[in-house]
Amino acid sequence: MPKGKRKGKSASVQKSRADTIGITSDEDSINDNASVISIVSETKSIIEEGGDEVDEQTQEEVFEEKLREAIDGINQKSAQGRTSSLESVAKAFIKKCIPDFVSDRRLTLTDGIERSLKKGRGSEQAAAAQLAPLLCVQLGAGDEAEEVYKSLAPVLSVVAHDTAASPQARAKCCWALGLCIFLSGGEMADVIQLMESLETIFSGSYLKGNGTVPVVSADLASLHAAALSAWNLLLTLMAPDDIYVLMSEDTDVFAPQICQLSELLDSSHLDVRMAAGETIALAYELGREHNDDFQRANTPQLADKLRQLATDSHKYRAKKDRKQQRSSFRDILHYVEDDDPPDIQVRFGQEILALDSWCRKKQYDAFCQVLGSGMNLHLTENDLVREIFELGERLSPPYYAANKQTKHERHMMNSAAFKARTLSRSKHRDKRSAVMAC
C-alpha cells in the first residue's frame, strides 16, 4: 500500500468483516481492491506477531458482528438489499455451525423469511426459501425447529402453488417444505398431507389422458423435479409396510403408483427422469423390506424401460446429460433387477459415512442440496446431522491439529528449504561452468 494512503484500523477491520464470512454488499464491492490489500496486510501483521489464538477470537467476533448486520438487513426497505442479506445469512449458516447464536435470533429470522415470502418477488422469495431449511439445520432437533416449520409452512405452501410466482422460487419452496418437515420431526399426518400437496405439482409431468408426453418448459420441469425430490425425501420417513400397501395396484390413496412414476421416465427433461428413477428405487427398497414380492409382476416391464435409459445413446440429448443419465439408471436397474444397493463411502476428516441404501443416499443428497460446500463441516460439528446419519458423538480434535504448526513456523521451514535448494543448484552450476571452461 502506498505511503500516506494507509487506512485507519477501524476501516481495515470493517473490510475484514466482509471477507471473513464471504458477505458482500454494494458498498463493499465499490472498494473491492482496497479491501483486499487492507485485509492481507492486517492479517499478516497479526500472524507475524504470533497471536494465532487472538487472531481466531478476533475472526469469530468479526464473523458474528457481520452476521448480525446481515440479519438486521433482512428488514430493510430495498428489495435488492433484503435479497442480498438473505443470501449472506445463508452463506454464513453454511460456513459455520452456530446453534446458540441462531437460537437467540430465530424469531427475527423467521419473521424476516416470512415477510420476504409474502411481499417479495422472484429472487427474494427464492433466497428466503433457501434460508428456511438452513435455519432448521442450525437449530437442530427440538421444539424450536418445529415452531419454525409451523410458522413458515403456510406461506411456503402458498408460494409453491402460486402459478404467478417464478418457477425458481416455487421450486425452492417445495424443497424448503420437504426439508423443514424432515428436520423438525413433524407428525406423520402432516407429512402425508404435504406429500399429497407436492404430488399436485409434479403430476403435471404425468402422461396425458391419450398417453402422450405433456409439453413442459424447462423452468416448469425443474419445479416438477424439485417437488418430486421433496416428495421422495419424505418417502424415506415412512414405514416399509405402509409403502407396500400404499403403492400397490389395488389402492386409491395419496401415493402415486409405480406405473404412474414410470410415466415420468418418458419426460423430455433429464431432472424429471432422474427424480422419477430415484423415487422408484426408494419405493422398491422400502417395499421389499416388508415383502420381497413387492411389484414383482410389473418389474420386467419397468426393467426394460430402465435399461433403455441406462444405455441411451440418442444424439439429440447433450453428451453430459447422456453420461449422467446412464450412470444413474445403471445403478437403479441393478437394484430393481438384482437387489444390488448403493455402496458409497464419504470421507470427511478422520471419519467415514457409508451410504449403503437408497434411503441413506437420498437423505445425504438432500443435505448436500441445502448445505453445499459446508456439508463436511456439518457432518463433523452439527449434532442434528450426526444424529440423522448415526455418526455418534463428535470426535475430539486429533492430536496433530492440537500441535499444528503456525504460519510463521511453516514460513521459516520453507525459507530453509529454499536456501538449501539454492545452494545445491549453485554447486551444480559451478560444475557445469568448470566443464565448459575445459
Which cell goes with 63?
464473523
User: To the nearest whole number, what is the mean pLDDT of the chain?
Assistant: 82
Contact 295, 251 (CB under 8 A): no
Q: Tell me the H-state helices in 205-264.
A: 218-235, 240-246, 258-263
Residue 29: per-residue pLDDT: 41
| Per-residue confidence band for 315, with pLDDT thresholds at 50, 70 and 90 | low
Contact 112, 74 (CB under 8 A): yes
Instruction: Give tens-digit pLDDT for 112-170.
Output: 999 999 999 999 999 999 999 999 999 987 789 999 999 999 999 999 999 999 999 99
Residue 249: per-residue pLDDT: 59
Q: How far apart are CA 247 and CA 198, in angstroms?
A: 16
305-327 mean pLDDT: 82
Residue 50: per-residue pLDDT: 46
| pLDDT score of 359 more than 90 | yes
Q: What is the pTM of this model?
A: 0.76
| Per-residue confidence band for 42, with pLDDT thresholds at 50, 70 and 90 | very low
Q: How far apart are CA 84 and CA 344, in angstroms?
A: 36
| Per-residue confidence band for 238, with pLDDT thresholds at 50, 70 and 90 | very high
Contacts of 359 (CB under 8 A, 6+ apart): 236, 282, 285, 286
Instruction: Give tens-digit pLDDT for 158-203.
Output: 999 999 999 999 999 999 999 999 998 878 899 999 999 999 999 9
Residue 102: per-residue pLDDT: 94
